[in-house]
A and B are shown apart, each in its own frame.
Chain A
Amino acid sequence: MEILEVDNLRKEFGTLVAVNNISLSVEKGQVWGLIGPNGAGKTTLLRMLATVLRPTSGSVRLLGFDLAKEYLKIRRHIGYLPDFFNLYNDLTLRECLEFFAKAYKVENKLIPQRVDEVLDYVELQSKRDDFIRHLSRGMVQRMGVGVLLVHDPDVFLLDEPASGLDPKARIQLRAVLKKLSSEGKTIIISSHILTELSGFCSHIALMNEGDVVLHGAVDEIQRKVFDSRKIRISVLDDCDKAVQLIEKFSNTKIETVRDNEIIVEISAGESELADLNSHLVSKGIKVFSFGEEKTDLEDLFMKISDSE
C-alpha cells in the first residue's frame, strides 16, 4: 500500500535549488534512509514532507492527503523529529507527553496509559516526573521519539536523530529505532552517518546537491551497484580443500580466508549459490554456515559516490 507519493518536488531558496524535482514513492512498512553529504537537501526534503516548509513546486500525497491543502490532517498522521530540537524545559516528561497527546487528540481516558507505554518504550519511566531540562541530550533525543509515539503516527520523519549523541546514547536511540522498524512502522530517516542506518533500512535514497541520485530497496541497489555477491562460508575442517573446490567453481573469486572462514565473491544467482553449497558438501566438506554477506551502507554509499 502506497503511503507517500512525491511528484516533482522542488524547493528553491533564492537562486539555490535545495531540492530539485524529486519523485519518490514509499509503501507502508518501508524504512527509507536518506543518505547524502551535508547540504544534499535531506533536511529540506523532510521539512517539506513534515509540512513545515512550503515547496516551490511539485506535489506530495501523504496517506492520500494533499500536502498543500490538507496539511492539518497530514500532521495528525506523521511524527517529525527535527534535526535540532528541544522540548519544553519547564514541563516534566509526563506533562510534556500529556500535552502532545492532547494536541494530537488522543482520547482523554487513554492519555495516562499512553504516557506510561511511551515512557516504557523509550526507557524513561524512572524520569517521568523530572523536568525535561534535567535530562541528558541522549534522553531528550529519546524523549523526542517518545513525543512522536504518543499519537502513534503512521509515518515517522526523523532528521539526523543521532547527531551530537555520545556512543552509548546513540546505541540506545538505535535500539528504539530498530524496535520501531521491526514493528512495521513506515520511517523516513536522514543521516550522513551511515552506520546509524545500517541494519534497519529497507530502502535508501542517495541525495546529492538537491537530487536523488539513486533510490530503491537496499538489496536491489546492492545488486545494481555491486556486480557480485559476497558469500561467507564456514567449514569445520579441510579449509584448503574447500578453497580449491571453490576456486574451480565458475565466476568465483576468493576474497579472504581466515580461521576456517572463507569470503567468496561470486557473480551468480540463487540457484548457482545452492549448487556451490551442495558441491562442497558432496565433496565431503563439513559446511556449517553458508550465507550472503550483507554489504554495509557505508560500502554502498562509497561505491555509489565513486561511480558518480
Chain B
Amino acid sequence: MILNNPLIRRYRYSLMRPRQLWIYITIYIAVIALIVFINYTAYQYQEWFGNQIRFFKGLYYQFLILQVIVLCILGMLNSSSAIKDEVTGKSYDFFRMLPISAGKKAAGILVGKNLVVLLLGGVNFLLLIILGMLGRMNGVLLGRYFLAVISVAVLTNSVALLSSINPAKARKRNNIVLFIVLGFIFAPFVISSIGIAIRRINIFENVTEKFYTIELPVLILISLVALYFSCWAIKGILRRFTREDEPLFTRMGAYIFMVGFELVLFGLFYEYLKDGAQKTNYLYWLISLLTVLLIPIWSLRSFDRYLEHSGLIQSKSAGNKNLVSAFLRYSNLLPVLVLFAIWTAGTIVTALMTGQGLLYNLYYIVILFSFYLFLMLLLELYVVYKPVSDKIGLLLSFITIVYLFLPLILSVILDNKEVYLYSLLGFCARILSNKSAPGFLAQTGILLINIALCTIPIILVWKRYKHILAARQKM
C-alpha cells in the first residue's frame, strides 16, 4: 500500500539507480568489514573480549550504534533536505499542487527520501539479529533495542522534515536553529537515558524507570516518549502541508501540547518529586519553562495576519472598544499568558508535592513571569515592527543577548554576588544551585527592573496595534 505512493516512486527513480546505489552499498560493506576486522583482530590477538560470546555481544553494540547513525543521522539529513531540494530546484509548486493528502506526502518523503537508508538499515537489522543470537542476548532485550531505535528514528526524521517545511527560509539557511531548540527540549530525556544506559550497560535488561507509578523498562520508556513526540511532529507536518502560511500551532494546539508536555514531564519526575527534592522541583520548573518560551514562537501570528483579522473584526464589530478587545484576544500576547498560566498550574502542583511553601514559590513564579513577559514582548515587537524594518530581528536578538548575559558579565567584573540574578540564566542557575535562595529585597529589585523594562515594549507594541487598526480602516 505504502509503496503505491507516487512520491516513493519518484524517489525510487532518482535514488535507486544502480550506478549510484552501488556506491552506497560499497561504502556500507567497507564500514562493516572494517568494524568486523578491527574487532576480530582485537579478539584474536589482544584478547579484548575474552570469549566468543562477548566478542559477538561487543559487535552487536557497535552495529547498533551504526544503525543509529544510519537511521537517525543520515535519515534526518535526508528528511530535512526534501523540501529544500524542491524549493531550490524550483519544483515546489508542482509538489504543493500534487492532489495527494498531506499524510501521503509526509509518508512519501519520510520513506521515499530514505529508501537507501531503509535498505541499509534493513540489512543492518538482519546482522543485528544474527549478532544478538550469536552473543546469546535476551530476545526481549533485542526487541526493546529495535523499538527504541525505530521510535527515535521516527522522531528525528519527522522533526527534521517538519523543521524543513518553511519554503521562505529553505533557500536561505539550514534548520540548525530548530534542531538546537528541539535538542534543548529533548536533551533531558536523551541525556538521562544515555546516562542510565552507560552506568548500567551490563545489566540493561533490568533497568527500569517509573512513569508516574508504572514501572517500565527504560528502553520502552524512551520509545514511548519518542513516539509521543513523533505523533506531534507528524501532526505538525500534516498542518504544514495543508496550511503552510499559518503558524505551526493553533491556539488550542499550543495549549494541548503544553499540557501534554507537562503531563509527560510530570510522569517522568513523579517519583523524584514524591521524595520531596527541592532541586528536582526547580529542574522540572525550568525544563517546562523552556517549553513555554518556545511554544509562542511556533504559534506566532504575523503582522499580515493581524491586518487581515482586524479587517474581519472591523466588519463585525460595533464599537471601537470591542474592536480593541477583539484584537487583543487575537494577538500573540493572549497565548503567552495562557501558556504561562498552564506552566504556573504545573509548578504549583509540584511545589505542593515537594512540600515547599507555596507563598515562597509564588514569588519565584512572579519573578520568572516578569523575565518571561519581557522576552515575549520582544518577540511581539519583532512581529509588529518587521514590516517597518528588516533588521529589527537583529536589534532584538542583540537586546535579548544583552538582557541574558550582561548581568552575568557585570557580576564578574564588579565581583558582585547578586547582579547576575538580574539575568534569567543567572536566576535559574541560583535556584538550581545549593546556595541559599535570593533575598526578598534582591528579588523585589529584579521584579521592579523587569517591570520597568517591560513598559517600553508594551508602549511600542500598543502603538503598533493602534497603527494596524488605523491602517486597516484606510484599506
Contact with A along B79-107 (1 / 0, CB 8 A): 00000000001110110111111000000
CB distance from A109 to the nearest CB of B (A): 14
B91 contacts A12, C-beta separation under 8 Å: no
Q: State A90–B91 Cα separation when bound (angstroms).
A: 12
Q: State A50–B14 Cα separation when bound (angstroms).
A: 27
Interfacial chain A residues near B304, Cβ < 8 Å: 12-14
Interfacial chain A residues near B14, Cβ < 8 Å: 88, 90-91, 95
CB distance from A149 to the nearest CB of B (A): 14
Instruction: Say yes or no: A51-B97 contact (C-beta < 8 A), given A88-B14, A99-B10.
Output: yes
B387 CB within 8 Å of chain A: yes
A72 CB within 8 Å of chain B: yes
A75 CB within 8 Å of chain B: yes
A193 CB within 8 Å of chain B: no
A52 contacts B97, C-beta separation under 8 Å: yes
A104 contacts B245, C-beta separation under 8 Å: no
Q: State A16–B91 Cα separation when bound (angstroms).
A: 27
A98 CB within 8 Å of chain B: yes
Taking a contact as CB atoms closer than 8 A, the residue among B96, B97, B99, B303 that contacts A105 in the complex is: B99
Q: State A21–B357 Cα separation when bound (angstroms).
A: 61
Closest B residue by C-beta to A79? B97
Please report the number of residue pairs spanning A and B whose Cβ atoms sit closer than 8 angstroms.
80
Instruction: Say yes or no: A102-B9 contact (C-beta < 8 A), given A85-B90, A89-B89, A147-B94.
Output: yes
CB distance from B94 to the nearest CB of A (A): 7
- Interface magnitude class on chain B: 20 to 34
Q: State A98–B13 Cα separation when bound (angstroms).
A: 10
B180 CB within 8 Å of chain A: no
Contact with A along B196-240 (1 / 0, CB 8 A): 000000000000000000000000000000000000000000000
B475 CB within 8 Å of chain A: yes
A178 CB within 8 Å of chain B: no
Contact with A along B133-161 (1 / 0, CB 8 A): 00000000000000000000000000000
- Interface magnitude class on chain A: 35 or more
B471 CB within 8 Å of chain A: yes
CB distance from B21 to the nearest CB of A (A): 14
Contact with A along B344-380 (1 / 0, CB 8 A): 0000000000000000000000000000000000000
A303 CB within 8 Å of chain B: no
Interfacial chain B residues near A87, Cβ < 8 Å: 91, 94
B13 contacts A99, C-beta separation under 8 Å: yes
B308 CB within 8 Å of chain A: yes
Contact with B along A108-146 (1 / 0, CB 8 A): 000000000000000000000000000000000000000
A288 CB within 8 Å of chain B: no
A85 contacts B307, C-beta separation under 8 Å: no
Q: State A120–B471 Cα separation when bound (angstroms).
A: 54
B94 contacts A85, C-beta separation under 8 Å: yes
Interface centre among A12, A51, A89, A90 (most CB of B within 10 A): A90
B426 CB within 8 Å of chain A: no
Instruction: Say yes or no: A12-B97 contact (C-beta < 8 A), given A86-B91, A91-B10, A95-B13.
Output: no
Instruction: Say yes or no: A104-B99 contact (C-beta < 8 A), given A80-B93, A85-B93.
Output: yes
A86 contacts B90, C-beta separation under 8 Å: yes
Contact with A along B286-319 (1 / 0, CB 8 A): 0000000000000000011001100100000000
Contact with B along A60-76 (1 / 0, CB 8 A): 00000000000011011
B6 CB within 8 Å of chain A: yes
A103 contacts B100, C-beta separation under 8 Å: yes
B101 contacts A14, C-beta separation under 8 Å: no
Q: State A113–B94 Cα separation when bound (angstroms).
A: 22
B binding-site residues for A, Cβ under 8 Å: 6-7, 9-10, 13-14, 89-91, 93-94, 96-101, 243, 245, 303-304, 307-308, 311, 387, 471, 475
Mind listing 11 A-B residue pairs with CB under 8 Å? A12-B304, A12-B475, A14-B303, A15-B307, A50-B97, A75-B99, A82-B94, A87-B94, A89-B89, A102-B6, A103-B6
Given A13-B304, A98-B9, 8 more contacts at CB 8 Å?
A: A14-B307, A15-B387, A54-B245, A72-B99, A85-B94, A90-B14, A95-B10, A99-B10
Q: Which 9 A-B pairs have the closest CB atoms?
A: A86-B90, A75-B99, A103-B6, A102-B6, A90-B14, A82-B93, A76-B99, A99-B10, A95-B13
